[in-house]
Amino acid sequence: MRYKPKIGEEFALNAAVIAAKTRHLTEVTRSTIALAIVIVVLVTLAATAAFCAYRGDFQVLQTLWAVVAAPLGCIIGYYFRGTGTNGKEDHPSAA
């Protein structure tokens, strides 16, 4: 063997480390899915608005907004909660 691997200290792989990595992966996955949904909704709204402006009839845009407003508001409300009455953030989320 040309190269010998260096052997270091054992990495303490306990339940706390595994739980922290799992929480991090879960939060990153949720954030990615939420961001993708928001981007798709905003692009769809922009394209629909352009189409409706071209046609001069905004009924389709109103219908689309009625469908996507609540889910979009829930996602944005979750990730941008703001601050509580004490001036500190009230949520433990890493997002």
Q: Are 44 and 60 in contact (CB under 8 A)?
A: no
> Can you give the residue ranges of every domain in the chain?
16-79
Q: What is the pLDDT of residues 21-63, one digit of tens each?
A: 888 998 889 889 989 999 999 999 999 999 999 999 999 999 9
Rounded to 5 degrees, what angle do the CA atoms 7, 12, 18 make? 125
For the chain, the helix, strand and coil percentages under 3-state DSSP, each to the nearest 5: 65, 0, 35
Q: Which residue has the higher pLDDT, 35 or 16?
A: 35
